[in-house]
Chain A
């Protein structure tokens, strides 16, 4: 009996810690300048962050707990809280998860492979550039996991086609896998549909009455930051990982033969691509009026209606728990803003910086970048934006620039596997070591921060004047 209790307590130590800390904070005196509602929202935020990072309970349970605590702590009625769980950002997360399943199921990976190899030839560095640039560009519209799910098997097949043991081609393997992952990470902030965090930030900016960021306006702000990283990122990859061979003649030949067996494009595949182009056009031209999430859901409807994907497939492979969690976290983010807790946190951070932020505007952006980068390497990009976003857009600088900075810096999860969907996927192959992420990650982190700071200092102010 005692052993069972001990075991349960150990397994659930973070859950117990979260609740004990929550109870302790609840009975402590409220800090000055913060409303009781704001303070309780902060308590829930602390508990939720602990539960997300530790995964002490299944994520959907954390999503449910947010609603329960908001009502129990008197932050809103059941109906108000329920309403805050549904938003365009939540629709987008739901839609993009289902779209990923729908697209990956079409077997377009073989076409993509042929396209990349046609462009790159057999030279290892060219293939690396091919994976890096293609994944970067496609991810900016489709989302990381869709592209990585399609291209990772290709990269692994190419490595295995060399006929050598995995350990003997670690350099080649790391080069290709990181080209794919880091290309996807950089691409993910290029457009609002590149990642859920972008949609969350658009929602926060619009809900705060700060600005409505259209799909095209986001691209104008973010895409140059992405494009400038293509040559730098590719160069960094070649400096970090040294492949064991220069050419992949045999491996490419075998891969082409494998892919060639799949035959020409089928009408279904053509329709799948056409539908995606339609969705993309919808995002560009309609998201400002009907919302990015609604366009994504319309896309899912079209894939289902045309029979390109079955509901059972979508139902089985979509992680509904993540949707529930993000719905909760976004609702909590809105609570942080509405109760003034986000503003209070922002003001305290400004005070801690001791006037530096007022004297040098760039300091506040550096703080936003630093904190976002740190948190994303522990907690995942969307959760980072959902929790930190409301605070950062209240920092006192230009809210749009601060919002964009938060969203973009939340992509810099290069150093750990949990920092991005792409990183987690390549880590799940079991072929990389955690220090591979650190080895390449610190270089990419510095590069991305430098590029973002350049945009903040020179490009974005110019855009705002226009």
Chain B
């Protein structure tokens, strides 16, 4: 498996990287760290690239290289890669397919990749996920409405939004179960994460009316049996109310919400927004959206 974690700066991306490496570890996945920076305005781009060339002779690198070097050191600290491994050479860069890759020493080339891109974040992440076959994209934030909706709509991999993550906290999982096709994948994904984190799962099925349809009940039953077979501690709830509000209230700040992607038509989802999108915007905890 291959996971992609997006970082933007050494200040704001630490938690994203920490949880990203943990999840990648759980799935024994390769991890690509991508830095997406703001591009210089095209009219003034020439001056910027001239300056960046001049700065190299003073051993000053592109800010993205510094962030990726920091990410590499952090991954060593988290022991995602061997801490004894040698440091990165910031001048060892390879440009391909509109992106720049910092070459990782020795054998870690496959386990981690460090990539630098510039441009619109959604567009760059979409290009990266289309360039290599990733299963999960891990991003920070989740509170900027437009960006969040675009990521949910246009990135084809599963998504983990690292929102209000406390590295010291003990997280449980809240699995949202409904009749969408992606629910089964969400259940399996949730099971793997629960085993790795050695934590319990709270199965929540929410309906706007008091009546829960047969398809909802069937999906919930399938999820319960799956977790039981996997010997994962779990509890199950059927709650009436607005689904997004129910999930957020039940999750509080000590759960990671796991949910499948919406089954809504893309145009309707674009105009109205989706249940996962609403949940993510309201949530006070990390959210995994499984596609």
For window 1-39 of chain A, which residues contact chain B by CB distance below 8 Å?
2-3, 6-7, 10-11
Q: A2-B266, A52-B43, A153-B58 are in contact. Are A7 and B154 (CB under 8 A)?
A: yes
Q: A428 and B51: CB pair below 8 A? A: yes
B107 an interface residue at 8 Å Cβ cutoff? no
Chain A interface residue count: which class? 35 or more
Interface residues of A in 305-335 (CB under 8 A from B): 317-319, 321-322, 325
Residue in chain A with minimal CB distance to B52 = A428
The reply to whether B55 and A317 form a contact with Cβ atoms under 8 Å apart is: no
Task: Tell me whether B54 and A109 are in contact (CB under 8 A).
Answer: yes
Give Cα A429–Cα B49 distance, bound, in whole angstroms. 11
| Docked CA distance A429–B37 (Å) | 11
A6-B270, A144-B47, A152-B55 given; A430·B37 CB < 8 A: yes
Contact of A55 among B41, B46, B154, B267 (CB under 8 A): B41
Which of B40, B43, B54, B150 is within 8 Å of A428, CB to CB? B40
User: Could you tell me if B60 and A6 are in contact, using CB atoms closer than 8 angstroms?
Assistant: no
Contact of A3 among B40, B60, B154 (CB under 8 A): B154
A153 touching B48, Cβ below 8 Å: no
Q: Is the CB of A6 within 8 A of B63?
A: no
Question: With a CB–CB cut-off of 8 A, which chain A residues contact B158?
Answer: none
B45 sits at the interface (CB 8 A): yes
- Does A251 reach chain B (CB closer than 8 Å)? no
In chain A between 276 and 310, which residues have their CB closer than 8 angstroms to a CB of chain B?
none
- A379 to chain B: closest residue by CB: B43
**With A424-B44, A424-B47, A428-B40 as given contacts, are A150 and B54 in contact (CB-CB < 8 Å)?**
yes
Asked whether, in the complex, the Cβ of B53 is within 8 Å of the Cβ of A380, the reply is no
| Other-chain residue from A3, A317, A417 in contact with B49 (beta carbon distance below 8 A) | A317
Most buried by A among B42, B53, B153: B42
Question: Chain A binding site: helix, strand, loop or mixed by DSSP?
Answer: helix
Contact digits for B56-82, partner A, Cβ 8 Å, 1 yes 0 no: 011010011010000000000000000
Of B44, B57, B63, B66, which contacts A418 at CB under 8 A? B44
- Which residues of B approach A to under 8 Å, CB–CB? 9, 11, 37, 40-55, 57-58, 60, 63-64, 66, 120, 123, 126, 150, 153-154, 265-267, 270
Please list 26 pairs of residues, one from A and one from B, whose beta carbons are closer than 8 Å in the complex, sorted by A's number: A2-B265, A3-B266, A7-B126, A10-B150, A55-B42, A59-B42, A97-B46, A100-B46, A109-B58, A144-B47, A145-B50, A148-B47, A152-B51, A153-B54, A153-B55, A157-B60, A318-B46, A319-B49, A322-B45, A418-B41, A418-B43, A421-B47, A425-B44, A428-B52, A430-B9, A430-B64
* Residues of A bordering B, CB below 8 Å: 2-3, 6-7, 10-11, 52, 55, 58-59, 97, 100-101, 104, 107, 109, 144-145, 148-150, 152-154, 156-157, 160, 167, 317-319, 321-322, 325, 380, 382-383, 417-418, 420-422, 424-425, 427-431
